[in-house]
Copies of this chain bind each other. A is one copy, B any other.
């Protein structure tokens, strides 16, 4: 190795991730990516391959660093009701606190699916599947502990929770009132407590 890279690939990828996260694939230009990462044009193509490849890497990083990590932490609580509650409260807090109102990179990409490569669609589909599975497991465990009535359909309720989570993140990007987001989150929590 005659020479070392002057930038950290992981740090750079994270910066690129934020660009795609904010703007989406089409609206993020190479110039944007170069500006925000600070790296050189050649370096970008050498290291990451190109815009499309960089997007995939960025989305995978988000999926790994944010979604997987967050779900794993909640699951480690070993308290399903609290896990779901914290999931939604955290989500609302993160949404409101972000001055850039980026929303969730994964959910944002859901809307772009029709124009994306199958590879991207696969990452999105897998992410949605795992979030839903997380909710389903929460419900099933709570049922086994008699915290939730057996009459509740875990699969159906899990889908509803996924839907509400997505909506909170999407509405968070728009001029929808912030208290409304918390109200929706509370409805989500109520979904698996009383009924």
Contact of B160 with A184 in the complex, beta carbons under 8 Å: yes
Contact with B along A159-181 (1 / 0, CB 8 A): 11011101110110111100010
Given contacts A167-B167, A195-B195, contact A174 B26 (CB under 8 A): no
* Residues on B with beta carbons closer than 8 Å to the beta carbon of A111: 103, 108, 111, 170, 173-174
Given contacts A114-B101, A184-B160, contact A170 B173 (CB under 8 A): no
* Residues on B with beta carbons closer than 8 Å to the beta carbon of A173: 110-111, 113-114
* Residues on B with beta carbons closer than 8 Å to the beta carbon of A35: none
Contact of B164 with A183 in the complex, beta carbons under 8 Å: no
Please tell me if A1 contacts chain B, counting CB pairs below 8 Å.
Answer: no
Alpha-carbon distance A188/B128, docked complex (angstroms) = 19
* Residues on B with beta carbons closer than 8 Å to the beta carbon of A156: 183, 186-187
Q: In angstroms, how far is the closest chain B Cβ from the Cβ of A176?
A: 6
Alpha-carbon distance A148/B164, docked complex (angstroms) = 22
Q: In angstroms, how far is the closest chain B Cβ from the Cβ of A105?
A: 12
Please tell me if A124 contacts chain B, counting CB pairs below 8 Å.
Answer: yes
Please tell me if A6 contacts chain B, counting CB pairs below 8 Å.
Answer: no
* Residues on B with beta carbons closer than 8 Å to the beta carbon of A101: 114
Please tell me if A121 contacts chain B, counting CB pairs below 8 Å.
Answer: yes
A22 closest partner in B (C-beta) = B114
Q: In angstroms, how far is the closest chain B Cβ from the Cβ of A96?
A: 14
Contact of B174 with A110 in the complex, beta carbons under 8 Å: yes
Contact of B121 with A174 in the complex, beta carbons under 8 Å: yes
* Residues on B with beta carbons closer than 8 Å to the beta carbon of A180: 159
Contact of A163 with B175 in the complex, beta carbons under 8 Å: no
A124 closest partner in B (C-beta) = B174
Give 8 nearest A-B pairs by CB, closest first: A163-B167, A160-B187, A113-B174, A110-B174, A125-B175, A167-B167, A26-B27, A166-B167
